[in-house]
Amino acid sequence: MGNTINTDPRVKQRHTGTTNRALYIQVLAAIALGGIVGSLWPQFATDDWIKALGDAFTKLIKMLIAPIIFCTVVSGIAHIQDAKKVGRIGVKALVYFEVVSTFALVIGLIIGNVVKPGAGFGNAAASEAAVANFAKQAAEQKPVDFVLHIIPDTVVGAFAQGEILQVLVFSVLFGFALMRLGERGHSLRRFIDDTSHAVFGVISIVMRAAPVGAFGAMAYTIGKFGTGAILNLLGLIATFYVTAALFVLVVLGLIARMARFSIFKFLAYIKDELLIVLGTSSSESALPSLMEKLERLGCSKSVVGLVVPTGYSFNLDGTNIYMTLATLFIAQALGVDLTFGQQLTILVVAMLTSKGASGITGAGFITLAATLAVVDPRLVPGMAIVLGIDKFMSECRALTNLCGNGVACVIVASSEGELDRETFKATLAN
């Protein structure tokens, strides 16, 4: 008999699982090795070529984000053949984002008031130039500017600059236009589907470089800032990480339980993406592979294509927790007593500014500047206290954001009947 190709999906699933476990171990080892190198040989770790390892991997992933979003969103909408369904998915996602984000903000306020991590903190030396830069960017980012920024000046410019929201807007419009073409658009839909498979193939190649990127990013971070930078404000960092963990395990855990799945199994399923985010401090670095995994988990392409990219701008749970905790920490460190009304203002302002700063480098810190300026201008100089450790906190922000967006996609898919339950259970079980 001639050679035959085994098409049994169980064989493919076992092969994929083996590959994922190998990547998981490699990335984990790379992060640990990067931390050791950064601690023992900081001069070597801060070399431009070491930093370039992490930056290069992040750039490789970012170059694929725009085409992935375009292909996934357009294909998802074009295959639905029901414009009302697209709008329904979008509304459900936005409502879910706002409700869960509010929980994140409230938890941050409660923990900040109970633990009081900034109480008795000695005033740190201010880096006025650095703080002024973030404060200026926050002041320049007005709500009307954010709305106008969603609309790209040119389609090519949106893709070239990697603006997620702009690409998403064009993709939605293109998807609706392709939907209206009906049978005439069949060839174009097939071409976009094939292109999507090809781009995901590129991602599988790029992901093999994840351990190298994680090593470079971690070594440079520890080498530049040193372990002392972590210990200096350990209380705030520990409080933030514990609060974020509580949010993921309790809030997202309860949501997952209501949707009849385990948050622990879900986190284990996306462990590769979590490690990549931990190494690169950017949730964007795991966006393409997260979308691919959610489709493999049983979520429909249309839901994944709409919910996940939107969540990266509107569902920033980690950033929300960071803003409330950091605001209270700075107020406590500077001896400024915030009234109950001012703390409620934090909730409202942070909910708005977290959207306005999406897509900007240092978005979490810029959002914090905008929030402090509205709540009490006396708090703005206190940003210098947390400036030195923001790098370490950005990792937790990114990890929490990633978990929140993954769960959100499953919930919306389930509510729409767009979740293959058998595939979902079997994949999580394995």
Q: Could you give the CA distance from residue 372 to residue 269 in angstroms, rounded to a whole number? A: 37
For residue 412, the Cα-to-chain-centroid distance in whole angstroms is: 18
pLDDT of residue 257: 93
Query: Number of C-alpha atoms within 13 angstroms, CB side, residue 143?
Result: 5
Task: Check whether 82 has a pLDDT greater than 70.
Answer: no
Question: 28-42, 69-83, 354-368, 391-405: which range is least confident on average?
Answer: 354-368
Task: Check whether 407 has a pLDDT greater than 90.
Answer: yes
Using 50, 70 and 90 to split pLDDT, how confident is the model at 316? confident
pLDDT digits (tens, 9 = 90+) for 98-123: 899 889 989 999 998 888 877 765 54
Task: Check whether 247 has a pLDDT greater than 90.
Answer: yes
Q: Mean pLDDT, the chain, as a whole number?
A: 78
pLDDT of residue 358: 46
Q: Domain coordinates of the chain in residue numbers?
A: 9-429
Which one, of 406, 221, 404, 246, lies nearest residue 325 by Cα?
A: 246
Tokens encoding 137: 């960017």
Task: Check whether 233 has a pLDDT greater than 80.
Answer: no
- 188 CB burial (10 A radius; 0-12, 13-18, 19+): middle
Q: What is the pTM of this model?
A: 0.66
CA distances from 103 to 10, 198, 238, 254, 282 (A): 39, 39, 20, 12, 23
Homologous superfamily of 9-429 in CATH? Sodium:dicarboxylate symporter (1.10.3860.10)
Report the SS3 class of residue 226: helix
- In order, the DSSP letters of 108-125 are HHHHHHHH-TTTTPPPPP
